[in-house]
């Protein structure tokens, strides 16, 4: 769960607590061990991040580790390429919720989007979103674009499709492709979504200064693995 962001975002108006609550701490490396996942979850509890984002196979252990800590458990759907069939993404989403996830970051079907099959892309997002929210009304659904693979026109189309499909967030990238979050992409996504929609920046955000730049460009949530370094730097500057 996030904290409200100040109306004007700057080093002066942010606090370490607010910064930590913008972060979804990523534990998604394919070679990550169970012990590393547990340690990462404990770090989230210590720093009080918004959530942890783990692989689907790690949702149960994350939910157990973070029980009653105030840190939400999230996972990824169709990750990292978005190529699994819709029914598989829906199954992944429902299984993740059963295992304890309350936030889902799903990768849209990039190939269908680039092929211009926009109604199919929207239908898939809607299928995952409606199934997830029917099972858990408070479930937060974020849709990953993989912006480095898309044109600006495709990003704008994706923003509109996500909003029509009922998703909660649009998200820049998986962190496992050819690029991460850019300020231009965040501004574009913010400009082409309504105030109801949120924007998540993910991929390559390793410093406090860049996190603040992303928030200023329109992001509400940040996907990062350098959580400790970022929040510790904020504490040091504030002191």
CA torsion angle for 91, 92, 93, 94 (degrees, to 10)?
50
Percent of the chain with pLDDT over 90: 97
For residue 113, the model assigns a pLDDT of 98
CA distance 171 to 214: 12
pLDDT class for 1, splitting at 50, 70, 90? confident
pLDDT at 70: 97
Question: Which residue of the set 89, 142, 155, 200 is catalytic?
Answer: 200
pLDDT tens digits for range 170-229? 999 999 999 999 999 999 999 999 999 999 999 999 999 999 999 999 999 999 999 999
User: Is 71's pLDDT higher than 80?
Assistant: yes
CATH code of 27-238, in short, is: 3.20.20.70
Catalytic residue among 21, 89, 142, 171: 171
The answer to whether 176 touches 163, Cβ cutoff 8 Å, is: no
164 is catalytic: no
Whether 171 sits among the annotated catalytic residues: the reply is yes
Q: Which residue has the higher pLDDT, 239 or 74?
A: 74
CA angle 105, 109, 113 (to 5 degrees): 125
């Amino acid at each position: 769960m996030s904290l409200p962001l100040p109306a004007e975002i700057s080093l002066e108006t942010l606090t370490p607590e607010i910064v930590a609550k913008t972060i979804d701490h990523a534990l998604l490396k394919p070679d990550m061990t169970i012990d590393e996942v547990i340690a990462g979850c404990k770090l989230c509890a210590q720093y009080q991040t918004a959530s942890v984002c783990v692989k689907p196979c790690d949702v149960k252990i994350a939910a157990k580790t973070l029980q009653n800590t105030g840190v939400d458990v999230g996972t990824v759907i169709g990750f990292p390429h978005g190529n699994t069939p819709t029914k598989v993404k829906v199954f992944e989403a429902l299984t993740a919720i059963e295992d304890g996830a309350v936030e889902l970051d799903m990768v849209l079907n990039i190939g269908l989007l680039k092929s211009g099959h926009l109604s199919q892309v929207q239908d898939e997002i809607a299928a995952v979103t409606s199934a997830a929210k029917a099972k858990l009304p408070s479930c937060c659904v974020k849709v990953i674009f993989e912006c480095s693979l898309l044109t600006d026109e495709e990003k704008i189309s994706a923003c509109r499709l996500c909003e029509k499909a009922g998703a909660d967030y649009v998200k820049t990238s998986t962190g496992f492709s050819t690029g991460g979050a850019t300020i231009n992409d965040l501004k574009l996504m913010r400009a082409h979504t309504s105030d109801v929609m949120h924007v998540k920046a993910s991929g390559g955000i390793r410093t406090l200064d860049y996190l603040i730049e992303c928030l200023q460009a329109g992001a509400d949530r940040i996907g990062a693995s350098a959580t400790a370094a970022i929040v510790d730097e904020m504490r040091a500057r504030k002191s």
